[in-house]
Amino acid sequence: NAGVTQTPKFQVLKTGQSMTLQCAQDMNHNSMYWYRQDPGMGLRLIYYSASEGTTDKGEVPNGYNVSRLNKREFSLRLESAAPSQTSVYFCASRNRGGGAETQYFGPGTRLLVL
């Protein structure tokens, strides 16, 4: 199993450009999450999807949209990138039910917005 995979690993954008960050998991998990991590801070939840076909806002959703394409894939879109969105983005997944609470993380996408 590859676990949680993310593409791209690195990206540089100019202000106003758009892009989509891709995330996939092969663990048959129900829930998927997008976080951002800024220097000196812990991870902050952007959006999550508790199951295929549902998405909900997290702590810092402004400027982002998400799509739960199927059970495996959960994408994060920046429609008009801003320098404040320079960050490291992590995707995670979790298997709901049976007392499973642990979230498993991907390797991250490092985004620089100029």
Partner 1 sequence: GESVGLHLPTLSVQEGDNSIINCAYSNSASDYFIWYKQESGKGPQFIIDIRSNMDKRQGQRVTVLLNKTVKHLSLQIAATQPGDSAVYFCAEKIIGNEKLTFGTGTRLTIIP
Tell me whether residue 14 or residue 102 sits nearer to partner 1 (CB atom): 102
- Which of 1, 2, 40, 62 binds partner 1 (CB under 8 A)? It is 40
Residues 50-89, one symbol each (x = binds partner 1 by CB under 8 A, - = not), give: x-----x-xx------------------------------
* Residue 70: CB minimum distance to partner 1, A: 19
What's the distance, Cα to Cα, between the start and end of the chain in Å?
A: 36
Q: Is 45 an interacting residue with respect to partner 1 (CB under 8 A)? A: yes
Strands 10-13 and 109-113: parallel
Q: Which of 38, 37, 111 is nearest to 81 (CA)?
A: 111
Q: Specify the DSSP class assigned to residue 83.
A: G
Tell me whether residue 58 or residue 63 sits nearer to partner 1 (CB atom): 58
Beta bridge partners of 25: 4
Q: Is 34 an interacting residue with respect to partner 1 (CB under 8 A)? A: no
Tell me whether residue 14 or residue 101 sits nearer to partner 1 (CB atom): 101
Q: Which of 41, 30, 38, 20 is nearest to 92 (CA)?
A: 30
Which H or E run contains 44? strand 43-49
Footprint of partner 1 (CB under 8 A): 4, 31, 33, 40-45, 48, 50, 56, 58-59, 90, 101-108
